Chain A
Amino acid sequence: MTLDTYKKNYHKNKFQYLLTNHLAVILESDDTLFVLEQKTALDDVHPFFESLLSLFKTKGETYHFSCVNLIVKGKDVIVDISIHNQDGNKNLVVIEDLTNHYNNYQLTAQTRNDSVINSQILELKNKYLLEKEDFKNTFITNFSHQLRNPITSIATFCNIISDTNLSAEQKNYLHIISSANTDLKNRIDDVLDIAKINSGQLILTKDVFSLATFLDEIVYEYKSLAANKNLDFSAEIDTKLPEFIEGDKFRLKQIIDNLMSNAITFTTKGSVGFHISLNYIRANKISLHIEVTDTGIGINPSDYDLVFERFAKIESPIQNDENIGLGLAIVKHLISEMGGNISIESQKNIGTKITCNLSLSTIPRTYKEPKKTASPKTFNFARKQNVLLIDASELTQLSVLKTLALEGNFYLEIVSNIAALSEILLKQEFDIILLSNKLGNHSAEELIKKVLKTSRDYKDVPKLILTPEISSTEIKRLIRVPNTDYIKTPFDKNILLETIYEYLKK
């Protein structure tokens, strides 16, 4: 066979040629693909042609349609169709059978589309889950904040009652209420921390503090807690540790508190130990090594991972399990934020050793050590000091009043709105001002401005902001101004007094 005949043979079974008039009525057909009788109207053959009748009436045009799915006389094909207008109101219709070709394409398209759709659906599910998680975190945060107020009230009034005449029995009950309340507060703080971690809002602060003092306080605190339970306590503090470091003191304390209080809680006899040493100082990084040991109930190796899981709680024989799993989950996160690691070694009923490494910073070169001040409590004033409290909360008013009254060193004036503030500032002079971080619509910054506007003399008068959070940038900026500081609410009455005395002495 010649190439030409091959070609003809090939073409023959793939192409159907039709001649029609301008009404798409068949004049001639070679019937390669379908047998179509003369005089049949193409619009009766398939709705494809019915849709295009107008194209058969045009002149000198060619139309091409690719990938048309046709069922003609029970035969299922995928074809390309072209309509060529011819002279004398005739049309040549060419149908090319490309079923195999397009079926292959169909398979590719199927895989591609399936995967695109699946990934969009996945993305959507993911988005939905994230929104749910977000909602959960916001809910927890808001709700926990709402719980804080009543807890603060309980704490404040426990404090106030404790200074009244109480029988031994009443004192005992009060102590139970107060420690249950502290426990509740700690748990809520933990829940808040978890919500912050989940939403990526737990950010470490950087402040210079005395590591030596910090560690002294820890040793003092846990020595007495251990003694209360008749446990031996040993502390090892590396002498190579720098005196001052920079980092998040509050969070470092939280880590150590969690580890130490767990050790004490889960140990009924024997000892607990605290060890801290320097790994290295490199560039401005200080790497610390901390070990907390106990001779308590221990943890099964299979539960090691569980301890750090968010809401896990290990089966414990001790009823009073104050530190349910949350604390350690937070610790783990904090340590990893400090570029460190934590590990457990433990033997059931023999004891546990928790080891962690974490990094803080050396103090910046520009930092000047504050001068050491004598204990403020010993200070005696020549006259009673005038204190102004700007705060609308009756609770705060009452607790400041109680605290200062017992000292006998102060006159207290209280204003709870902005109008009263202007009035009192004109009438009287004050030695120290305590102000809320929010009075009506007014921020602490606005309140301070208002005070300074009355008289520039107030520039030198100490101003202490009572605020539940110092994370706000505004407060942080304010307390950099000399003679301005903050007291975290709910405040401990001793801290309030110490801070006031310290500033009045200057």
Chain B
Amino acid sequence: MIASKKIVLLGHFGVGKTSLIRRFVQDIFSKDYKVTIGVHISKKEVLISENKKVSLLLWDLEGHEDIKRTRPSYLLGTHGFIYVFDLSRPETYKALKTEIEHLKTHYKNVPIKVVGNKMDLVTKEHIKQNADVFDDFVDFFTSAKLGSRVELLFSKLAKELL
């Protein structure tokens, strides 16, 4: 039997959580924004090594400005978090540090990947200028639109979960 792991995507609304999942699961992207309400769950199997598969259960949550407002039952039995923010909107990473620390204290042994998405909208300069915020926390800079580092993000996390 293939092991299944629950992964929850968190972060403000509009940062690209849904888009990252759609890129990963269906390899499509749409520039239209449809607000996610509640939760959507999708599933995708990934090949970890030559003969090892894991099935990822991806919980795409409605975005909130404040992580504490997430419905707690959604987080039951989570194996891994992906915290997404929008590189092009400072509002979405203003409180990055507090949000991540909150997760780390309340879900001690659950791995977290922090993702700056919409890499295609910003310059390298922009990332350099915000190095003080990004350097310590961010694991991946992705673009759901271009598909950059999306596979990598999910497979890295999947490997850590086994």
A residues contacting B by CB (< 8 A) are: 46-48, 50-52, 54-55, 63-69, 78, 102, 105-106, 109-110, 113-114, 116-117, 120-121, 124
A-B contact sample (13 more), CB < 8 A, given A47-B41, A68-B41, A109-B35: A47-B43, A48-B39, A50-B43, A51-B4, A55-B76, A65-B74, A67-B37, A67-B39, A67-B62, A102-B38, A120-B91, A121-B89, A124-B89
Q: How far is the CA of A114 from the CA of B73 in the complex (A)?
A: 27
Q: Determine the chain A residues whose CB is within 8 A of the CB of B33 once the complex forms.
A: 113-114, 117
Q: Are B39 and A69 in contact (CB under 8 A)?
A: yes
B residues contacting A by CB (< 8 A) are: 4, 6, 13-14, 33-35, 37-43, 55, 57, 59, 62-63, 71, 73-74, 76-77, 88-91
A47-B43, A51-B4, A113-B13 given as contacts; is B37 within 8 A of A106 (CB)?
yes
Indicate the member of B40, B41, B77 with the most A CB atoms within 10 Å.
Answer: B41
29 contacts between A and B (CB under 8 A): A47-B42, A47-B57, A50-B4, A50-B57, A51-B4, A51-B6, A54-B77, A63-B73, A65-B74, A66-B71, A67-B37, A68-B39, A69-B39, A78-B38, A102-B37, A105-B37, A109-B35, A109-B62, A110-B35, A113-B13, A113-B14, A113-B33, A113-B35, A113-B63, A116-B13, A117-B89, A120-B89, A124-B88, A124-B90
Q: How far is the CA of A48 from the CA of B37 in the complex (A)?
A: 15
Q: Are B37 and A51 in contact (CB under 8 A)?
A: no
Q: How far is the CA of A55 from the CA of B77 in the complex (A)?
A: 9
Q: Are A69 and B40 in contact (CB under 8 A)?
A: yes
Q: Determine the chain A residues whose CB is within 8 A of the CB of B37 once the complex forms.
A: 67, 69, 78, 102, 105-106, 109
Q: Enumerate the 10 nearest inter-chain pairs by beta-carbon distance, A residue then B residue, closest first.
A: A67-B38, A47-B43, A51-B57, A51-B6, A110-B35, A69-B40, A109-B35, A48-B41, A47-B41, A47-B57
Q: Determine the chain A residues whose CB is within 8 A of the CB of B55 once the complex forms.
A: 50
Q: Determine the chain A residues whose CB is within 8 A of the CB of B59 once the complex forms.
A: 51
Q: Determine the chain A residues whose CB is within 8 A of the CB of B62 once the complex forms.
A: 67, 109
Q: How far is the CA of A114 from the CA of B14 in the complex (A)?
A: 9
Q: How far is the CA of A39 from the CA of B90 in the complex (A)?
A: 51
Q: Are B38 and A69 in contact (CB under 8 A)?
A: yes
Say how far A258's CB is from chain B's closest CB, in angstroms.
42
Q: Determine the chain B residues whose CB is within 8 A of the CB of A47 once the complex forms.
A: 41-43, 57
